[in-house]
Structure 1
Amino acid sequence: MPHSLRLNSDCKDKMVQAWFFDEKVANPREPCQLENVALDVVEALGCKLFKFDAANKSSCPNLAKIVKDQNYNFQDEITVSPTTLPDYEKKVQMFLEEHIHDDPEARGCLDGSGYFDVRDKNDKWIRILVEKGDLLIIPAGIYHRFVPDLKDFIVAIRFFEGNPVWTPINRANNEENIQNMPIRQKYLASL
């Protein structure tokens, strides 16, 4: 069973689960669980997880505070499932491409569940399960990816500061260029 983590949570009874990713498992939508990951390891990577009332998002004080504190001024929602997302399998493969962004990636789970994988300091994958009421902020410059779990259903709210931009810079065939990018250098210096 994965280790449960409490990250920046105002909801003391709710926990998030994270573990090292088992790359030997053929289907990345499975849990792919290895050993537990300690809270300080995840926090040291710059990841933040908040809890919010997904059923009452428009009146949730925790969510309003996060949005204000992070200067988010734009949000949208996406449903990731075979029935709602055209070319579902192709999109899932795109989400699974390891990449970075110039800006932090903030995603709240309104329903369903899925996995965000982030690279640790030793370039190992850490898998973070996001479920209804979790809001994960991944720092700019960290290698990461997303995949729905075996239920193939997640409704996410995406938050942006400024104009919404979602431009992944894929690691494959770009690693040398990425390592020299200012955002990657800034991220590495923060470790």
Structure 2
Amino acid sequence: VNSVTFLTSSLGKDCQEVALAVSILQEINLPADLQPLATFSDTIPSAILGDGADLQKYNISVLGRMKIERLSDYASRLERSAEAVREGVLVLLQAVEHMVSNNYNQYDPHNFVTYTRHGESTPRATYIPSNKNTELVDDNMTETLQALYNYLLADLPLCKIVSSSKG
């Protein structure tokens, strides 16, 4: 997501799984709700990230015990059920809340991720801000909301209810 690769790794004697944010950039631009427990640099094979076989220096942030995935990937696995509609609406509202509270003028729907902390069952949505050099359309909040709605609710029963009430 936006020059950051999220990996799951095992650390410590008890091999607890933690989420890592890995990037070749000097500074990993993460939202406040994903602030790292620790950050360090290390040289690792690029093949781990699918970038090739050379050794390269990466910045690595340890995010804690959680699962992180692109919001569109999470949405593609939602089942067609009342619980999935509830969860999809909740994640959509969290994304909207994030958009309103951060007030960026530009959004890329592909930069939204969901994360589920260890011991929790409900995912949360957040936004990984774009790098400064990424060109996005100014004030595209409406298009972004439509894309998120389509990701989360288009194939679920609620979408058919909303669509029929618009007509």
Name the TM-score class by shorter chain. under 0.3
Greater percentage in strand: 1
Greater percentage in helix: 2
- The structure that has the greater radius of gyration is 2
RCO higher in structure (CA 8 A, sep ≥6): 1
